[in-house]
Amino acid sequence: MRTTSLVTGRIYNPERCVNLLNPLQVSRYIKHGATLYDILIGRDDKLVYVFDKDETRELFTKWVNHELD
């Protein structure tokens, strides 16, 4: 099921997305060209940032290996 973001206006499939809570990780993803699809409000009123899993797979690997500056 496709969803349209009220924040970005982008259309995306939530099943193909990853939700991030870490603002540093989010900023690094954006810095390296990842598309932010949506921003949601999660538990405890924390912001949840939505990215496409396939688009960010390489960035995630670099993040885990502490190679994403």
- Model confidence pTM above 0.85: yes
- Domain of 46, in residue numbers: 3-64
Q: Does residue 53 form part of some domain?
A: yes
Neighbour count for residue 30 (Cβ, 10 Å) = 14
Residue 16 DSSP one-character state: G
d(CA 67, CA 25): 12
Q: Does residue 69 form part of some domain?
A: no
Q: Does residue 52 form part of some domain?
A: yes
* Tens of pLDDT, residues 4-51: 999 999 999 999 999 999 999 999 999 999 999 999 999 999 999 999
Q: Does residue 51 form part of some domain?
A: yes
Residue pair 3/38 in contact (Cβ under 8 Å)? The answer is yes
d(CA 7, CA 57): 23
Overall domain count for the chain: 1
pLDDT of residue 14: 97
